[in-house]
Amino acid sequence: MRRWRRRHLFEAGALAVMGAVIGPGCSRQDSPAPSAADAPSRTATPAPARTTPAATHSPTPTPTPEERQSVTASPEPDQQLLHGMSLEQKVGQLFVLFAFGPRADRPDHRNTELYGVATAREVVEKYKPGGWIYFSARDNVEDPAQVATLSNDLQRVALATGSKVPLLIGTDQEQGLVVRIGPPVTMFAGNMAQGASRDLADARTVAAITGRELRAMGIHQDYAPDADVNTNPANPVIGVRSFSSDPSLVADLTTAMVKGFQQDAKVIATAKHFPGHGDTKDDSHFALPVVSHTRDEWDRLDAPPFRAAIAAGIDSIMTAHIVLKALDPSGDPATLSKPIITGVLRGELGFEGLIVTDSMEMAGVREKYGDAEAAVRAIEAGADQVLIPPAPEQAFDAVLKAVRSGRISESRIDESVARVLALKSGRGIVDSPYVEVAAVKSVVGTSESRAAAQRVTDKTTTVVRNDAGVLPFAQPPKDVLVAGWGVAARKLGARLEARGAAVSVRATDEDPSSGAIADLTSKARGSELVIAVTTRAWSFREQRAMVAALVETGRPVITVAVRDPYDAASYDSATHLATYSHSDVAMESFVRVLLGEVAPQGKLPVAIPKNGVALYPLGHGLTWRSGG
């Protein structure tokens, strides 16, 4: 779908498409632009469509033909859809909830504490929410088939409850740093890695593969891509989740991903975090960040990716829990700001799609007004869906009370419900609320998708320094010490061993102790080569001390930043690379570059500052021919 004209849709008969879902007896079950030389591929091409052969085994019953037909069998008059819903049912559509556990009917005491009922099934029955979200950290994920089964079971409950409207199921599958469903789902290196490759076709491929796999598991909405422009190197919450510090590049890559999600995978994309979280020094999970940009700076730095996403027809935009006084001098977080959400996003930018809040559990939105009032103010501001209220019953009751008291008009509620229903209809959720569990294995984590992930990631590794001229190696080094941050160090060690190197791995925490550093330096003195792995060394002095101690041994040291590229300014090493991720594909790409199996193509998507000046400019990156 190109662009949602929701008001026109509803005036002209979009309700006709949705009218079928409320009939009785229906049992259906988330700087300047680089030069042309720095941007080798800025034109996207569509990703090829996939055919999905059916697998042979389903762990749960597949929806029956009668269940499928019931989606469109209702004789309910079209015009009565919205007005036929009770106020409670309408308000339910404005909330996105979750439940603990991997099964719809499995009791969990944490659900009882939060909702007053023990199972996901009962949460859906009690609140009749419009949306649902999955988290691996909340025990929703065991494997792709289980996720698909959970999706089907939740839809059966939703379609037998209340207004009988299917759930809009989402998750945060940004790739890279933020992933809610891990392997065998196909893993990519994340946004900043794509910023390093600058390849729009690859960015579209990442979104298309990610989206198809989500859709196969019954997930309709990805709370991605992150459209923030990371202009603050000390940003504690965005960083590599952003494509770049260059607004033009972020806009181009955001557009490519919107096309991959929505056109290729038929999954709802969600640009976040409006009006822009890229220049913050605080994490909105724990505080309320303040962005000091002027209106002109916001127009130039933060707005372009959101304007581009809207022009590309994005279905949904997520708000940020930040203060931006240039857009609203009240000091309210943007999520609760009518001048920002209704005035700027709706009015000035012309966005007609679904606006969803960032998680209402986060401290940035809770502190000023409290949980119940924050939910009311989010809807007053113009949000269509309230994501994960930490006090769901209080939030739900507060919105109902606000409508019944006249504080919020029911027509305002109807506007948001109409957008929710239009999106469910337009993205095929009403007609096809279920997925074929047996087919999941033929879509998720296929060899073709994994090969594509590696091919895409091989273009992202960035060689920042090669002052000693040691790269690429003519053959695998025989005696290597891999030291530093544990997860990545172990992955690198395994890949070098697989190529015949004799490898010792000394894994550390993010803040290695002086004793651990002493052990590393002792081992380094007897090694032919040292690879030092860092993650956010700019914020951990212990990692900086580790690198300094290893360099002082006099042995050849290669440093690799496996998260923020800003580590390059944190220590001195003659050979330094950036991978932007510690994912398997990123670590494999790093080893391939070391050994000359692929030529490095990555260019820094951000400038690396030191003492207020650019130590390495945006677009910097060394290369050589593959094979040495």
Active site residue ranges? 285, 358
Pairing between β-strand 173-175 and β-strand 178-179 as defined by DSSP bridges: antiparallel
**Residue 178 vs residues 97, 173, 318, 531: alpha-carbon distances, Å:** 19, 6, 16, 26
Tokens, residue 593: 């570059």
Q: What angle do CA 113, 366, 124 make, to 5 degrees?
A: 40
Question: Six-digit token pair at 498?
Answer: 């697989």
Residues 6+ apart with CB under 8 A from 573: 465, 532, 547, 551, 557, 558, 559
d(CA 384, CA 314): 15
Identify any residues that bridge with 269 across adjacent strands, giving them in sequence order.
222
Residue 604: which residues within 8 A CB-CB, separation 6 or more?
A: 196, 462, 464, 565, 578, 616, 617, 618, 619, 620, 621
Which residues, other chains included, contact 248 with Cβ-Cβ below 8 Å and sequence gap of 6+?
32, 33, 304
Q: What is the rounded distance in angstroms from the CA atom of residue 393 to the CA atom of residue 404? A: 16
Q: First vs last Cα of the chain: how many Å apart?
A: 46
Tell me how far apart the alpha carbons of residues 600 and 625 are, in angstroms, rounded to a whole number: 8
Q: CB of 579 within 8 A of CB of 589? A: yes
DSSP states of 523-586 as a string? HHTT-SEEEEEESSGGG-HHHHHHHHHHHHTTS-EEEEESS-GGGGGTS--SEEEE-S--SHHH
Pairing of strands 608-610, 575-578: unpaired
> Going by C-beta distance under 8 Å and a sequence separation of 6 or more, which residues neighbour residue 296?
none
CA dihedral (257, 259, 265, 271) positive or negative: positive
559 Rama sector, left if φ>0, alpha if ψ -120 to 50, beta otherwise: beta
